[in-house]
Amino acid sequence: MKKTIELITAGRAGIDLNTTVLNASFADTPSFKKSIGGSPANIVQGAARLGLKSGFIGKVSGDGMGEYILNDFQKQGIDVSGLCIDRTGAKNCLAITEIISAKESGSYCSANKHTFYHGTYLYREHTADMLITPEDIQEEFVAKAQYVLLSGTAFSMEPSRSAMFQIINYAKKHDTKVVLDIDYRPFGWNDLEEASRCYQTICRQADIIIGNREEFDVVEHTTMLGNKDNASSAAAFLEQGAAMVVVKDGANGSATYLRDGTILRCGVIPTEIVKTFGSGDAYAAGLMYGLLRKDDILYAMQLGSACASLILTQIDCAPAMPTLEAAEAHRARHCQEMIR
C-alpha cells in the first residue's frame, strides 16, 4: 500500500490544563489554558507543526472533551481516521499543572541556575485511552504509515496493551517501521516485573527505541538488573533486533547507537527555561522529522534538541511546539554548541 502518512503516533490523548503564570502554586494560579496532552498526542502535534503528514490512533471520551480533541487534531491537519470514540462513559485523562521555581544551582540546561518545581495533578483512572481494543485498530490506516510511534504507557494494562500489539502486527505485515518511546509511568503497571517483561517483548519488535537511563532500568529489571551503562543497554537492544537506539540524557544531550557500531552524539542548547516538561516529546517530534525528511540521524538529533530547547522557554506544552522555520533557525544558530 502507498505510504501516504509519514508518522502515526498511538496511545493517550487527554486534556492538559496548563498554568498561565509562573512562580505560583495551584492555589494561587488564577486561570489555566486547555490543550491536548499526553506524550504521543504531544509528539504528533509537534510533528504536524513541523510539517510531517501525521495521524493518530487512540480512544477518547464520548463527550465535549473528546469532541474537542477530535476537532482540534483536525484543525492541526492530523489524520484522525484511527481515533475512536468511547461509548462506555469513560472520561479522558486530565492533567493540571503548576510551575514553582526557586533560585538554586544545578538545574537542567539553564543558564541562570534555577531549579524548577512542577506540580501535576493527574487523573488517570479508568480513562478512555486505555479502553482501546484490538478491534478498534484499522489495518489499512497502519499500512499507510512510514513510521508508527508507540508510547510504552499504552501497554500498561488491557485492553490497550493488546491493541498496541495489534498495531505492531499490522506494522510488521505492511513494512511500517515501529518506534517505541519507552515513556514509563508507574501508574497502571502491576509491578516492575510485569513492566520489564512487557517492555522486553516490545523492544524485540521495535525498529527504533527512545528512552533515558531510568526507563532502561525498568526494561532491564528482569534481564540486566544493576546495569547503569547506556552503551550496554543499547547493545542489548540492538542485538535483539532494533536498528537504532536513542538515549536521552538530560543536560548531557543525546546519543544514538546503530547496529554497525556507530555512535552519534548531540549536546543540548543552553536555554533560559520556564519549565522542563514536554521537552522529551518535542525532541521526539524533531527527531522523527529529521529521519523522515532528511534521512540524516545527526541532523535529526540536532533538530530534536532545538525543538526541546524552544519548548522549555514557554509555559504551554503542545501549543508551544515550534514550527520548522523556528526550529531550523534555532538549530542553525546553535549547531556548533551541539557538536560532541
Q: Which residues of 244-283 are buried (b: 16+ CB within 10 A; e: fewer)?
A: bbbbbeeeebbbbbeeeeeebbbbbbebebbbbbbbbbbb
Q: Does the pLDDT at position 156 exceed 50?
A: yes
pLDDT in tens, 35-80: 999 999 999 999 999 999 999 999 999 999 999 999 999 999 999 9
User: Per-residue confidence at 111, pLDDT binned at 50, 70, 90?
Assistant: very low
**What is the rounded average pLDDT for all residues in the chain?**
93
Is residue 221 a part of any domain in this protein? yes
Q: Is 77 part of any domain? A: yes
How high is the pLDDT of residue 187? Answer: 86
Name the domain count of the chain.
Answer: 1
Q: Which of 192, 193, 195 is nearest to 203 (CA)?
A: 195
CATH classification at residue 202: 3.40.1190.20
pTM of the entire structure? 0.94
Q: Which domain holds residue 160?
A: 5-13+38-85+133-338
Q: Give mean pLDDT, residues 218-245.
A: 95
Is residue 116's pLDDT more than 70? no
- pLDDT, tens digit (0-9, with 9 covering 90-100), for 263-292: 999 999 999 888 888 999 999 999 999 999
Three-point CA angle 298, 299, 301, nearest 5°? 65
pLDDT value of position 274: 87
Within-domain flag for 96: no
Q: Identify whether 169 is part of a domain.
A: yes
The pLDDT value recorded for residue 251 is 87
